[in-house]
Amino acid sequence: MIRALARVLVLLVGAGAAATVVNAVRPKPLRWFVTKEDVYPAPLPVHIESEISLDDFLAAIDHGAVVIDARAEDKYRNGHIPGAHNLPAHSIHENLGRIYEWATPEMLVVVYCAGGIDECDESRTVFDALKENGFVNLRLYLGGWKEWTQKNMRISEEPVDPQ
């Protein structure tokens, strides 16, 4: 019995040692110890059910939100919010499956487009498509690219995903 327990311990310790070494040499190691907030962030304070301000959007990014740029590909390539994935509204139904590469239906997802209440139909199109497909934690950043650039926020031209 003691020998069996010792062998179980050796197997577990061996697995733990391999895990520790491999995790340590990863480009982005997974942290062993985190806070509860890191794992299960508290719900964001949102003033309107789904439409959020720039401040709320920035807080969402800090909380690990998945950001979706609903504009066409060429506009995305010319500049987008850093870390945003491109899911153009005009081809949403053909490409909707790509969302599952970046997010699960429970994750916080924020969609933006060109910006302005009257100029953001693209983000609403993507928002509605995601909602219909079971995404339950969606937000719309209506200020969009327009407000982002007006506030001189950092932009990126590097695509997040391989084309």
Q: Concatenated DSSP letters for the chain?
A: -HHHHHHHHHHHHHHHHHHHHHHHTSSSPPPSS--HHHHSPPPPP-SSSSEE-HHHHHHHHHTT-EEEE-S-HHHHHT-B-TTPEE--GGGHHHHGGGHHHH--TTS-EEEE-S-SGGG-HHHHHHHHHHHHTT--SEEEETTHHHHHHHTT---B-S-SS--
Binding residue for another protein, selected from 39, 42, 94, 154, defined by CB under 8 A = 39
Choice between 100 and 149, CB closer to another protein: 100
Choice between 106 and 157, CB closer to another protein: 106
Does position 94 interact with another protein (CB under 8 A)? The reply is no
Choice between 20 and 149, CB closer to another protein: 20
Does position 83 interact with another protein (CB under 8 A)? The reply is no
Locate 63 and state its tokens.
């909380």
Does position 4 interact with another protein (CB under 8 A)? The reply is yes
CB under 8 A: which stretch of 76-84, 87-95, 101-109, 152-160 binds another protein?
101-109
Choice between 11 and 48, CB closer to another protein: 11
Residues of this chain that interact with another protein (CB under 8 A) are 4, 7-8, 10-12, 14-16, 18-20, 22-23, 26, 28, 30-34, 36, 39-40, 100-101, 104-107, 134
